[in-house]
Amino acid sequence: MSRLTDEEFLVIQEFIDRSRAELDRRGFTIEVDSDLSKWVRLMRRIPGDLDIASTHDPSRTYIHPANAFWVIIRERDQKLMARLMRREPAIVACLCYRIVETDNIAEEIRTQRLFFDRKPILDFRPVELVEPDKLPVIGGMVGLAGGFWVHPKLRGSKLTNIVARVTRMLAVRHYGIDWHVSLVRDTPRRKAMIHNTYDISNSVSITRGFYPPYGRPYDMQMSYMHRDEMMRRIKQDNLEAAEENALEAAEKQETLPAPDEQVALPMPEEKRRLVN
């Protein structure tokens, strides 16, 4: 883990400020919480058959404020009745994050330490890795994203992209992660989602067969990104946003008439009589 420079801190803050402004423009607020048990309770209240992965469940994995957090997106505006009853604004999206210090994240998966590390487990079999000799070695401070949920009415929107990238950059700044990874089902649709929605270019098949966090057979893939790449991406995003803002400002300036071209407004009738 290397230290961030002052410039990198400012680059991250500029990116987060822009993201917050975009969320505010769309009527949302963003907050951060370190108690992932609240996330578990939220997932259990949501209708449908949702899998709660053990990787981010404090009752099954040793998660605490020093190594985990979750990002929450809420609706900014509430209906009158909700305000009168002092209800919290509705959560419309969330994402969990956990930091693992390791020599190789693949070894944490193979030994199930990534899934159940609160206590020794009685029923243990190594997780089958796909071509382990060809897997990239991802070690150091590794950030693991999981538990992503977006309200059905907002799926397919830019909201998912904003939440994923802000969460990664918070982990870079606060925990000094070297790598970001996520584990999702190994399907063509999920692979496209990783690349297009989460803005992660690298992914590899990681496991086959029984997947312990969900207690059922799942083929899984791992997406990954190094911190240097994350920093390059947001620097480029900030630069493009600044250029776009400058272009918009120039276009507005061009539409304003020059001082010698401004047309004098007619004087009101009552004022003309006073002048005369």
Give, to the nearest 10 degrees, the angle between helix 159-175 and helix 6-25.
Answer: 150
Indicate the pairing of strand 179-185 with strand 140-150. parallel
pLDDT of residue 124: 84
Sign of CA dihedral 94, 87, 77, 81: positive
pLDDT of residue 88: 72
pLDDT of residue 272: 52
pLDDT of residue 85: 47
- Which pTM does this prediction carry? 0.84
Q: Is residue 157 within 8 Å of residue 54, measured between CB atoms?
A: no
pLDDT of residue 213: 85
∠ CA(56), CA(60), CA(63), 5° rounding? 50
Domains and CATH numbers, the chain: 6-254 (3.40.630.30)
Successive 10-residue mean pLDDT values, the chain, 276 residues: 87 97 95 96 86 90 94 82 60 96 96 90 88 89 95 86 96 96 92 86 91 88 95 95 86 68 57 51
